[in-house]
Amino acid sequence: MISPPLKGTLMIQGTGSHVGKSVLVAALCRIFADEGVRVAPFKAQNMALNSFITQEGGEIGRAQAFQALAAGIPPSVHMNPILLKPSSDTGSQVIVHGKVAGNMDAKTYHQHKEKLRGKVRESLEILQKRYDLIVIEGAGSPAEINLKEHDLVNMGAAKLAHAPVLLAGDIDRGGVFASLYGTVALLNDEERSFFRGMIINKFRGDPSLLEPGLEMISQKTGLPVLGVVPYFHDLYLPEEDSVGLRKSLGDGDSAVRIGVIRLSHISNFTDFDVLSLEPGVAVEYLGPDEGLDSLDAVILPGSKNTLTDLSVLRERGMGEKIRDFARRGKIVVGLCGGYQILGKTIRDPHHVESALETLNGLGLLDTETVLDTEKTTTLVKARPLRGKAGEWLTGYEIHMGVTRLGPGSEPLFEIIERNGRPCAVPDGAITPEGNVWGTYVHGIFDNDTFRHAFLNALRKQKGLPPLARSGIFYREHLTRSVQRLAAIVREALDMEKIVQIIREGVAT
């Protein structure tokens, strides 16, 4: 236990995107929680299409939900007060305190930033009252000189929180010393006064070989290197965005092969991570020009711009490939936007997602969808209405569509609880043959019994025996990954120095 009790803030900023900020924050949350510190994560503004629903029924970035899990506390909208979900190259849906505030292009959003600063301050103050230590994550780089004036998430957040900052750099991509030095050099004197140290992340090999470089970068920046974190690839850690999405996951020689269509606006692709963790299963992310012949199942994932992605699938011939795949009796699954695409029509009369208004879907499910202006964001408990996949499962809804079933489809689930309140609401659709189905419930494959039943059905089609020992158990696997992550990072960092930095804080 840390004595005397630790109270304050600490911020992890990076030399760029995807350098490991989210993972370091999660590791530190677990390390401090294990020491008895009441700790919570915070990211003022997150741009991500992988999101999660909190107990309040609000939407936050998936990374902050994972960091909360590492800290051993429930996720809250105040851990990520502003979430940007890109819907085009120039515009995003803006979510404030878990609820949709509207769609904005970059210029409009910058005009609203000063109003949003108050929302960020409000959330930070709420967390500081509830917890002793707040570990804050930055975004991209603090040295983006064209964005610094109205920054909310890097130095803007550090100043609001009076947080000492550690700068992380990714050595695996090359140029880490130049990136660290250049970042510090582009900061002004006031900004540099917040920085207390640097972390080298994703190193492969013998850390002693880095020592001359570590000494030199410390001399040039005036900041100590507080640790070299090794590269690790055998831990399951949910990705925040599609930058880290690999084409193939799992065993390349697997008996069961599942294809996920990589839509241009793919969202919540972490729904499928757990499938690739199972023995004998490979998950492949496929572009609209690729073939499906080697696959046992095809999944259409969620999308932040369903009509545009549907249009691309139809134009590039993937829509017809999926229809042919289903006609041959193969399994086709749609989740959220993918569920909408499998239906007969999608209408967007209010232009919620794009300028397109109506498109015919793939017609594999007898459903029609209308995109609405109200967003459904709920934690749910549901029971399957067909098969023996368990009495109930848990997941979450994030959608702006209302889907109605025709006589050619029947509901897949009955939702029996939303945000802790009992209900009886049909969800999803399945064909009479049972090989095509869709749902609005994210996270269904995280449920062990449902996932094992799904995979064993695919194995049975191929004449294979059921999964040995019923496969993996997701929650236990995730908990072990977090524990190992914390152990690796604790070993790599000078935690005594980091505790000292937190105690000293930043002069106000």
Both 296 and 175 in one domain: the answer is no
Domain of 308 in residue numbering reads as 248-472
Q: Do residue 148 and residue 213 come from a single domain?
A: yes
Inter-CA distances, 412 with 267, 301, 459, 489, Å: 22, 17, 21, 43
Q: Tell me the CB-side half-sphere exposure of residue 227, using CA atoms within 13 A.
A: 19
Same domain, 169 and 284: no
Residue 259: closest CA among 226, 295, 224, 232: 295
Q: State how beta strands 436-439 and 429-430 pair.
A: antiparallel
What is the number of other CB atoms lying within 10 angstroms of the CB of residue 386? 12
Question: 353 with 418, same domain?
Answer: yes
Tens place of pLDDT per residue across the chain (508 aa): 687 789 999 999 999 999 999 999 999 999 999 999 999 999 999 999 889 999 989 999 999 999 999 999 999 999 999 999 988 777 899 999 999 998 898 888 888 888 899 999 999 999 999 999 999 999 999 999 888 888 999 999 999 999 999 999 999 989 999 999 999 999 999 999 999 999 999 999 888 889 999 999 999 999 999 999 999 877 777 776 655 555 556 665 678 999 999 999 999 999 999 998 898 899 999 999 999 999 999 999 999 999 999 999 999 999 999 999 999 999 999 999 999 999 999 999 988 887 888 999 999 999 999 998 899 999 999 999 886 555 789 999 999 989 999 999 999 999 999 999 999 999 999 999 999 999 999 999 999 999 999 999 999 999 988 877 666 788 888 999 999 999 999 999 999 999 999 999 997 6
Asked whether 391 and 378 are in contact (CB, 8 A), the reply is no
For 454-485, the DSSP string reads: HHHHHHHHTTPPPPGGGS--HHHHHHHHHHHH
Neighbours of 487 (CB within 10 A): 14
Residue 265 known to be catalytic: no
What is the rounded CA–CA span in Å between residue 84 and residue 82?
7
Residues 26 and 80 occupy one common structural domain: yes
Domain assignment of residue 398, yes or no: yes
Point out the catalytic residue in the list 97, 265, 442, 452.
442
Beta strands in 80-173 (DSSP E): 82-86, 91-96, 99-105, 133-137, 165-170
Indicate whether 173 and 209 sit together in one domain: yes
The dihedral of CA 69, 70, 71, 76: what is its sign? negative
Residue 301 lies in a domain: yes
Distance CA 94, CA 46 (A): 10
- Nearest CA to 443 among 322, 272, 276, 316? 272
Q: Do residues 414 and 307 share a domain? A: yes
**Residues 25 and 160 grouped into a single domain:** yes
Helix (H) or strand (E) run with residue 13 in it: strand 8-14
Beta-bridged to residue 413, according to DSSP, are 384, 427
In terms of Cα–Cα distance, which of 435, 454, 428 is closest to 325?
435
Domain final position from 236, 263, 281: 236
Angle at 298 between CA 246 and CA 378, to 5 degrees: 80
Residue 191 lies in a domain: yes
Domain edge (last residue) among 236, 261, 295: 236
pLDDT of residue 209: 86
The strand ranges marked E within 301-412 are 302-303, 331-335, 345-347, 358-360, 367-384, 393-405
Q: Which of 29, 336, 399, 452 is catalytic?
A: 336
Q: Where are the beta strands (DSSP E) in 205-328?
A: 225-230, 248-250, 256-261, 266-267, 281-286, 297-300, 302-303
Contacts of 385 (CB under 8 A, 6+ apart): 410, 411, 412, 413, 414, 426
What is the secondary structure of 70-96 as a DSSP string?
HHTS---GGGSSEEEEE-SSSEEEEEE
d(CA 87, CA 56): 25
CB of 24 within 8 A of CB of 229?
Answer: yes
SS3 119: helix
Domain count, the chain: 2
Judge whether 204 lies within some domain: yes
Evaluate whether residue 494 is within a structural domain.
no
- Model pTM score: 0.93
φ, ψ (nearest 5 deg) of residue 141: -130, 145
At residue 241, the pLDDT reads 61
Whether residue 287 is found in the same domain as residue 209: no
Distance, in Å, from the CA atom of 35 to the CA atom of 53, rounded to the nearest integer, reads: 28
Query: Is 263 in the same domain as 152?
Result: no
Round to whole Å and give the CA distance between 84 and 185: 29
Can you name the residues that pair with 258 across neighbouring β-strands?
283, 297
Report the CATH number that the domain containing residue 20 is assigned in CATH. 3.40.50.300
Measure the CA–CA gap between 13 and 354, rounded to whole angstroms. 34
CATH number of the domain encompassing residue 376: 3.40.50.880
Q: 3-class DSSP state for residue 392? A: coil
Pair (351, 435) in one structural domain: yes
Residue 358 counted as domain residue: yes
Residue that is last in its domain, among 192, 214, 236: 236
- Judge whether 391 and 365 are in contact, CB under 8 Å: no
Active site residue 336: yes
The token pair at 394 is 């848990």
Q: 3-state SS string over 216-245? A: HHHHHHCCCEEEEEECCCCCCCCCCCHHHC
Kindly state whether residues 266 and 415 are assigned to the same domain: yes
Answer whether residue 163 is part of any domain: yes
Give a yes or no: residue 497 inside a domain.
no
In the numeric block, the tokens 């006031």 are attached to 190
